[in-house]
Amino acid sequence: MGQMVQHAIPTARVLDARTVAPIDHLDTRIGPQYLWEPLPGCRSISFPVITTVDAKPPTPESILAYKRKIGKENDGGDWGLQFQHYSHGWHSFLPRPRVEYNSRLTMMDLVGKSLGYGDWQTAEFDILINTLPLPFFLQTCILGPTYRDPFLWDPIYMLWEPVHDPKEGMFLNYRSHPEDPWYRDTTNGSKIFRESLTEQPGTKAVNPGKIHHNRDSESVLAQLSVYDCFCFGRFATWRPDELAHETWKQIVEWKEATGL
């Protein structure tokens, strides 16, 4: 998300706590993640996406069974779009970013518009864009927004295995049976990614994972904007159903509204 902001605003600095760049830092097709729409201004290619529920074309009944399994039967997403049997995804090649790695931020002074690094160095900012998960970001604020509703999420436990007969495109299979510990398999290139809401042998925990709606999150975002601090991305805004192409549109709209 930070790279998307820098793509829209080339003068933006991007700070990353990691010491070195990950090998997939230019990739928008990572594991089970992909774009529903291409990013303007980037070279993009499309690929087929096949979606099934229990290895069969999705039906309203099977989709509801899956949603019940993961506790999101009342979510506000567009199930018709999410569970299209045949669709297309996009891979956009991001421009090489200027990321400042080894920049672990431990303190945010929103009033004084300054940042504190893990090595006790500080820096000032004019406009701050946050792409960290919102509750984690708020923990670093000296004086942050007020809220009552706790931020809740379920960790995702992921396992990836090699595919011996790779096929073109991406294949998503949602698993609705309650006794099945896995809820989704995604075959992408030479790997298959399995996801569970409970720890399984060989899995790696991903946090925050599946986030739950928070009644105060929009108020928190509005309070942050008073200090020229803005959040982009599903986890930074704490909007469970936000997709990457929707985030891009929000970035562009915000850029145009602020005259940057």
Q: What is the pLDDT of residues 206-240, one digit of tens each?
A: 999 989 999 999 999 999 999 999 999 999 999 99
R_g of the chain, CA atoms, integer Å? 19
Paired tokens of 161: 């295995």
* pLDDT at 48 (0 to 100): 95
Predicted confidence (pLDDT) per residue in 136-166, tens digit: 999 999 988 999 999 999 999 999 999 888 8
98 or 53: which leads in pLDDT: 53
* pLDDT at 219 (0 to 100): 97
Answer for the pair 15, 130: CB distance below 8 angstroms, yes or no.
Answer: no
Summary mean pLDDT of the chain = 90
pLDDT at 205 over 70: yes
- Whole-number percent of the chain with pLDDT over 70: 95
**Domain boundaries defined on the chain:** 46-87+153-210
Residue 89: name the closest of 34, 27, 28 by CA.
34
Using CB atoms within 10 A of its CB, is residue 128 exposed (0-12), middle (13-18) or buried (19+)?
middle
Q: Which long-range contacts (CB under 8 A, 24 or more apart) does 70-73 make?
A: 70/183, 70/197, 70/210, 71/154, 72/210, 72/240
Strands lying side by side in the sheet with 122-124: 105-109, 114-117, 122-124
pTM value? 0.87
pLDDT at 134 over 90: yes
114-117 and 122-124 strand pairing: antiparallel
Within its chain, how far is the Cα of 56 from the centroid? 27
